[in-house]
Amino acid sequence: MAPQFCWRDPLDYAYFSLYKRAVSPDTTPEIAHYFPVDIVKKSAPKLVHRKYTLQVSYISVEECSAHIPLQSIWSWQLKDLPFQLILRQFPQVDGMAAVTKDERRRALQSLDPQMQREITTFTQSHMLQDFPDLISHQLQKKSARCVPIKILADGRLFGLNLVDPNGLAHLLAKAPLKGQSALSEEEGDVQRQLLAFPDGKEGFFRIEVVHKEPSEELLTYGDALSLGLLQELFEVEKKARTAILKKTHPDLFASDQHREEIDNAFAKALFPEEKMPEETLQRESMPILLPSSFAYNPQKSVFVKRKVRNFCFPAKREKSLQ
């Protein structure tokens, strides 16, 4: 007998309905058949992913820049472009007329010790790009950890806490595995970039690909929910139907309603043909019982606490829906 579905509220039901619509042709409550990955990738790329295992180490800009020799810092400050950068950042420096290196040195040395330290720190963070070998050397000293990540077909990356992941997914797709030699000039360039990958202005990662799945897969319902992707699909659906809903359900747009009340009202309006729960379940945490095709394992805590809604596992049901 197929397990029974219980939904905390219409919004939870809407999330599952959107997921099922995107990945399966089935019209029954259970998902027994799935669209091919290529089909879902075209219509809902955020629900398709590839798994990677990375070996990662990290160093902050502040820690790394502390290893730059002072003599190198002073020499760098006196160059044309760096000195103009300092003048823009620190208008207190009286160096607009300084042309030669000696004049610039005197302008910087005339500052009080606190200002000199601030300029040195500022200089260190901006000159690291001129010391790639120093960055690589310091990263090699840091302890590494293995991190499983997911890269969605739309290019987004989950599992690695990055300030600026721009371009990383593209590099990982072309990177050779750890221990393997680069087979082309492009692979070698990718490998070098990953050994000192800049995370915005915060720090650097040393990234080596330990394993990558040979093909892309569909995200499970639990993963799509916990990553906030079904919430995104709901917002897209809501936006696409707003003009119609304003005519058919003007009460949805009352300004005095709470955001969650509005979303639940939208969920009812967006899925009027579906059989929605008639009874109101308790507002506390409540599990959704998944069909066997999802291979739900409570020991792995598929459900996680969501930031925008109170939803945790496990909790007891006080009422059941037939």
Q: Which of 94, 110, 130 is the last residue of a domain?
A: 130
30 in the same domain as 74 = no
Q: Using the CB atoms, write b or e for 238-275: b if 16+ within 10 Å.
A: beeeeeebeeebeebeeeeeeeeebbbbbbbbbbeeee
The model carries a pTM of 0.70
109 lies in some domain: yes
Instruction: For residue 188, count other CB atoms closer than 10 A to its CB.
Output: 13
Asked if 23 contacts 218 with a C-beta cutoff of 8 angstroms, the reply is yes
What does the pLDDT read at residue 272?
Answer: 66
Asked if 211 contacts 52 with a C-beta cutoff of 8 angstroms, the reply is yes
234 lies in some domain: no
What does the pLDDT read at residue 182?
Answer: 84
111 lies in some domain: yes
116 lies in some domain: yes
């500022």: which residue's tokens? 122
Q: Cβ-count burial of 206 within 10 angstroms (0-12 exposed, 13-18 middle, 19+ buried)?
A: buried
- CA 140 to chain centroid, in Å, comes to 25
Q: Report residue 76 as tokens.
A: 């760098």
Q: Which of 113, 130, 147 is the last residue of a domain?
A: 130
138 lies in some domain: no
What does the pLDDT read at residue 317?
Answer: 29
Q: How many domains does the chain have?
A: 2
Tens-binned pLDDT, residue by residue, of the chain (322 aa): 433 455 777 888 889 889 999 999 988 777 889 999 999 999 999 999 999 999 999 999 888 988 888 888 888 888 888 888 888 888 888 777 778 889 888 888 888 889 888 888 888 878 887 788 889 999 999 999 999 999 999 999 999 888 777 789 999 999 999 988 888 999 999 999 999 998 877 889 999 999 999 999 999 998 999 999 999 999 998 888 887 777 777 777 766 666 777 788 788 877 765 555 444 333 333 333 333 333 323 233 332 323 333 333 333 323 322 3
170 lies in some domain: no
Q: Using the CB atoms, write b or e for 40-50: b if 16+ within 10 Å.
A: bbeebebbbbb
Asked if 73 contacts 62 with a C-beta cutoff of 8 angstroms, the reply is no
278 lies in some domain: yes
Which range of residues forms the domain containing residue 93?
A: 69-130
76 in the same domain as 30 = no
172 lies in some domain: no
Q: Which of 105, 130, 155 is the last residue of a domain?
A: 130
What value, to the nearest 5°, has the Cα angle with vertex 137 and ends 133 and 143? 150
End-to-end CA distance of the chain: 13
118 in the same domain as 73 = yes
DSSP code at position 177: B
